[in-house]
Amino acid sequence: MSEKYTAGFRDRLFDKDPFPLAIWYPAMEPESSVRHMGVASGAARGADFAGDGPFPMVLFSHGSEGHRFNQFWLAEYLARRGYIVAAPQHHGDNYLDASEARQLAIIERRPREMRLALDLLLDHADISDHIDRDKIYALGHSAGGATVLKLAGWDFDAQAWQNYCNVNAEADKVICQFAPSDDHIDQLHQANGGPVISERDDRIAAIIAITPAFGVAATDEGLNDVNVPMLFIEADTDEILHDHVNAAHFRKLLRGRAKFVKVKGAGHYSFLPKCTPYIAENFSYLCRDFGQDRDTIHRTVEQVIHRFLDRVKTGEIQGR
């Protein structure tokens, strides 16, 4: 499908209360130059929505220590093809404040922030009428992938996370650095009657998880109630998350209930924007790809996601 619209863009829809949120959407006004965290792009800032909605909407959850612009390239692509994309910046787990990154509080808070963002957008005077309420999807990268899985009904098992890290703490520091303590597990038992945290939102009609984290907390029982269409996008070489306990573990547990696509030449951070000279000099690990140009990786991901969403939208792909 070619571009039918321009990419409308508005930032800080809710400013800092409760969180900064950016939105991209179908528009008709011409695009002009914009910069997202130093990366040049094009969008129609502040434009009116195209008049032939309502449009399906994709809620986006960024990775740990990221920001709302992490996948702006994908948001613009989808907006030009008839989707609204809304991206909140997660409190306590962003590039300015990582005080609770990869901790249990974030696994609880992140999906609640996504639900709050959806509530606010569906109640927003200028936006709500443009949203097709029967076609609301969620997409996330890394910790954001875990976040959208939780919105789909994954019961995240904190005890399984702790058990894994009791054995693998040194070998998997990314996942185990903030593994739950016995006190955390006790608190979950007191609050929920067990070590499971559920944050399901029945308004979410499909999810896309890009290199999802925290697969160590996934169990057969915890995924049993996930019944929406699912797309998982894996990196060919994920240098941050151990594949066998993340994407591959989800694949094993879901047993054909989700579509999995592995992107050749991609690493964990290949789904971020192209690197600026500043990023390359100060955060070079964010610039590593593994045999494929980042633009090429992005084009592949855009097409895979757009094809999946359009097939979900028309009912060609359905959950169980």
61-97 pLDDT tens trace: 999 888 898 999 999 999 999 999 999 999 888 888 8
Query: Which residue range is the domain that position 36 belongs to?
Result: 6-157+202-313
> What token pair was written down for 252?
């094993």
Which ranges of the chain would DSSP assign to H, the alpha helix? Answer: 72-79, 104-122, 143-151, 158-168, 173-176, 182-192, 220-223, 247-254, 277-282, 294-313
d(CA 152, CA 111): 10
d(CA 118, CA 262): 30
Q: Give the model's pLDDT for residue 121.
A: 96
Q: Give the model's pLDDT for residue 66.
A: 84
The whole-chain average pLDDT of the chain stands at: 93
Q: Give the model's pLDDT for residue 1.
A: 56
Asked if residue 169 belongs to a domain, the reply is no
Whether residue 307 has pLDDT greater than 60: yes
Closest CA to 286 of 262, 268, 301: 268
What's the domain count of the chain?
1
More confident: 102 or 88: 88
How large is the average pLDDT for residues 222-229?
A: 95
Whether residue 31 has pLDDT greater than 90: yes
Give me the CATH number covering residue 137.
3.40.50.1820
Q: Give the model's pLDDT for residue 101.
A: 80
Asked if residue 82 belongs to a domain, the reply is yes
Asked if residue 166 belongs to a domain, the reply is no
Asked if residue 307 belongs to a domain, the reply is yes
Radius of gyration of the chain from its Cα atoms, rounded to whole angstroms: 19
- Tell me the one-letter amino acid at 230: M
Asked if residue 173 belongs to a domain, the reply is no
| 280, 246 Cβ separation under 8 angstroms | no
% of residues, the chain, pLDDT over 70 = 99
Whether residue 198 has pLDDT greater than 70: yes
How large is the average pLDDT for residues 119-135?
A: 96
Q: Give the model's pLDDT for residue 163.
A: 96
